[in-house]
Structure 1
Amino acid sequence: MQNYTLLEPGASAIAFENEGAGGDIVIVCEHASRLVPEKLGDLGLDAATLESHIAWDPGAFELSRHLSASLDAALCYQRFSRLVYDCNRPPEAGSAIAEKSELFDIPGNKNISEAERRARINEIYLPFSEGLSEVLSFRKASGRQTVLVTVHSFTPIYFGKKREVEIGLLHDSDSRLADAMLSEFARRDQRYVVMRNQPYGPEDGVTHTLLEHGIANGIPNVMIEVRNDLLSSAQQRTSVATYLSALIEKGVSAVRAEQDS
């Protein structure tokens, strides 16, 4: 097979902030960036498309940083666009290197060679997945409890249809944390429209990180989706982060209490 290298020497697909955090939570933001490696150019897309939601989750990284600070949580994020490789998808998934996203064709992802595909897996997905695994393994070896929270944003209009949900709390087979957060939501002011497994659910293939790093390790986990028009300004992001921090804290406390009972 022809040798092919995607990233420049020293470049990494994974990055961390607040690694020494004292809290139990590890926040993951798989779609934090719209950066495309220089070798791939613009993937055949114009600048506006590369800034749109198909390339990343607008506002999700800033929200993750807010949550990391308020919860004293470690933050792990992907440094390249999900159009290069979607780290919330396993290598066997066709959507891991999407040839089309919503209404947009991705020319740079069509008819790529097996060497190019393998480079994206080896240089993007595997370092990200293995890096997150190392963090979780280190915490376990250190006797620390861990809760996994992944953070995403979604577009208000999808295939021409308006989405009413504002915040989605997603889970796969382990619903403990989502259940507890939804129970807490029912007890407090409901300024946002919060729903379970919306606008996506396990059937859409979006729970890979939860399955691979949460459920496989017996770690309480939840995926948070926030409609990106609620993350447009710093004030909005602060408001959403404050609201979510309270739900997460109460949810984690409820799950811990149940574990200890």
Structure 2
Amino acid sequence: MDQHTAAATDQLLGEGDMPPVHEVNAGATSPFLLTSDHYGRALPRALGDLGITEAELTRHIGWDIGIAGVADRLADMLGAQLIAQRYSRLVIDCNRPPAAASSIPVISEATTIPRNEGISEWERAARRREIFEPYHDRIDAAITRRLNAGQPTVLVSLHSFTPVYAGVVRPWHIGALYNRDTVLPQLLLKHLRGEGDLVVGDNEPYAVSDLTDYTIPVHGEARGLVNTGIEIRQDLIADQSGQQQWAERLAGILAAILGEIAVEQTAKRPV
């Protein structure tokens, strides 16, 4: 489908394309709401291969390697709702503000993305409308439902990171990410360090900000939810065994700190 045909149909996704949102345990009563912005690496049929090789598409530039297996298992273990996004971050990055240059990247690390160069405003809008917005609208609706029902909600945004970036080795096994709200991240850091066998990143390998992130600032902080980002090193979760082990570890830790979150929140209330 060329741009003229696409414009005529006013649609990017068509027959044979999967829905953008993957959801597990909709309506779950667990306080945890899990999200995964870079869960999948699907491409709309209209965009072909984006002009890059399959080997490039399966690298970390295309998605968060291993996080899908962790997210699904963790949702099952916690009985928690998971809302995830199936399309490659190279089509549109669902953890970037739409106005950011990295929202639809023309280069990722050293890899150019030819199909993203010089695209029309119509196509940019179509990617937002058909992939980005349905995903974030679903998260927003889930939070609204939960808040209206008086259901405690803790937002956990799941990601993975590459062991080496720009030639620099990253020593961390896992990191807790945050911006303004430090309640859950600090408890998470304490429990992760208490495991005794982990190198734990405090806002490493990334820090959350309004300019570079979307899910935590918009759905966590703006809605007043206790929240954290979790980054797991990709080589640790590249296979099913690693995904299972890390899901089990996180399930135990997150379940253990639920009571501490309540204590923290109670302690912060004015007398």
What TM-score comes out, normalization by structure 2 length? 0.91
- Alignment correspondent of 1:40: 47
What are the Cα deviations for residues 176-234 of structure 1, in whole angstroms up to 9, with x where unaligned?
10011112233x22222111111111259443200100111110001100110000222
- Give the ranges of 4+ consecutive aligned residues of structure 1 lying more than 6 Å apart after TM superposition: none
Taking the aligned partners of 2:218 and 2:185, their CA distance within structure 1 comes to 17
8 Å contact from structure 1 (residues 154, 227) kept in 2:
yes
CA offset at residue 18 of structure 1?
A: 1.1
SS in 2 for 1:148: strand
- Of 8, 12, 15, the residue aligned with 2:22 is 15
Structure 1 gap segments, 5+ residues each: none
- Of 96, 121, 124, the residue aligned with 1:89 is 96
- Root-mean-square deviation (CA, aligned residues, Å) is 1.8
Is the counterpart of residue 192 in structure 1 residue 198 in structure 2? yes
CA offset at residue 169 of structure 1?
A: 0.5
SS in 2 for 1:217: coil
What are the Cα deviations for residues 155-190 of structure 1, in whole angstroms up to 9, with x where unaligned?
11111221111101000111110011112233x222
- Alignment correspondent of 1:52: 59
Change (3 A) 1:108 1:172: same
Taking the aligned partners of 1:208 and 1:98, their CA distance within structure 2 comes to 16
1:222-237 paired onto structure 2 within 5 Å: 222-237=228-243
8 Å contact from structure 2 (residues 209, 217) kept in 1:
no
Amino acid of the structure 2 residue aligned with 1:44: G
Change (3 A) 1:166 1:204: farther
- Alignment correspondent of 2:138: 131
CA offset at residue 20 of structure 1?
A: 3.1
8 Å contact from structure 1 (residues 167, 225) kept in 2:
yes
Change (3 A) 1:205 1:198: farther
Amino acid of the structure 1 residue aligned with 2:84: Y
- Alignment correspondent of 2:32: 25
CA offset at residue 257 of structure 1?
A: 1.4
8 Å contact from structure 2 (residues 183, 264) kept in 1:
no
Is the counterpart of residue 259 in structure 1 residue 268 in structure 2? no
- Alignment correspondent of 1:168: 175
Taking the aligned partners of 1:192 and 1:93, their CA distance within structure 2 comes to 34
CA offset at residue 22 of structure 1?
A: 2.5
8 Å contact from structure 2 (residues 42, 86) kept in 1:
yes
Taking the aligned partners of 2:20 and 2:240, their CA distance within structure 1 comes to 26
Amino acid of the structure 2 residue aligned with 1:244: L
Amino acid of the structure 2 residue aligned with 1:189: E
What are the Cα deviations for residues 72-98 of structure 1, in whole angstroms up to 9, with x where unaligned?
110000021111111111111111101
- Alignment correspondent of 2:221: 215
What are the Cα deviations for residues 83-135 of structure 1, in whole angstroms up to 9, with x where unaligned?
11111111111111011111111111110011111111111111111111001
8 Å contact from structure 1 (residues 27, 68) kept in 2:
yes
Amino-acid identity (%): 37
Greater Cα shift, 143-152 or 16-25: 16-25
Amino acid of the structure 2 residue aligned with 1:260: T
CA offset at residue 55 of structure 1?
A: 0.5
CA offset at residue 11 of structure 1?
A: 4.9
Taking the aligned partners of 1:207 and 1:68, their CA distance within structure 2 comes to 23
CA offset at residue 5 of structure 1?
A: 1.6
What TM-score comes out, normalization by structure 1 length? 0.94
8 Å contact from structure 1 (residues 155, 228) kept in 2:
yes
Taking the aligned partners of 1:195 and 1:247, their CA distance within structure 2 comes to 16
- Of 66, 74, 87, the residue aligned with 1:80 is 87
8 Å contact from structure 1 (residues 178, 222) kept in 2:
yes
1:105-120 paired onto structure 2 within 5 Å: 105-120=112-127
8 Å contact from structure 1 (residues 181, 250) kept in 2:
no
